[in-house]
Amino acid sequence: MALSVLVSVHAHSQELNKQLQSGKWFINGGLIRKSVVLHEKPANAKDLWEARFLPSGKMMRCDTIHGSLFTGDGKDMKINMVECDSTNTYTLKKDVLKISNPKNSYYYKVKTLPDKSIELTSATAEDFEKK
């Protein structure tokens, strides 16, 4: 019985990891919140950034920078540039996700929502370690 529960929990963790790595996720706002939702498609453009979870344990944080450039003949040209930061790492233990950068670590309980988005609810380092 205990072995089947352990196998089931491990399989759930692998599924969550596979889902995180399946593509890019759109996030409104920062990570320092009690609840963060990762969407497969952008909900709106206000304070929006992308997260990409790589199999190597790196998490890319990508921001789109909007602006204008003036061409040599004085015309205004709109630009969109994506800039990514690769200093973040992540580790998933069962259903607790740890996201770290050189200054901080953030811990979240991971839950897949019915619309296939992922909800991250604030957790603690202790929650992560006991998993």
Which one-letter amino acid corresponds to residue 38? L
Spatial separation of the C-alpha atoms in residues 40 and 93, rounded to whole Å: 22
The answer to whether the CB of 35 falls within 8 A of the CB of 119 is yes
- pLDDT score, position 38: 92
DSSP conformation letters of 68-115: EEE-TTS-EEEEEEEEEEEEEEEEEETTEEEEE-SS-EEEEEEEE-TT
Average pLDDT in the 9-21 region? Answer: 80
Cross-strand partners of 60 = 52
The model's confidence at residue 6, banded by pLDDT at 50, 70 and 90, is: very low
- pLDDT score, position 131: 60
- pLDDT score, position 47: 63
| pTM for this prediction | 0.77
pLDDT tens, residue by residue, 26-83: 988 777 888 989 999 887 666 678 999 999 999 999 887 777 778 888 888 887 777 8
Kind plus residue range of the DSSP H or E element containing 55: none
- pLDDT score, position 64: 75
Spatial separation of the C-alpha atoms in residues 20 and 6, rounded to whole Å: 21
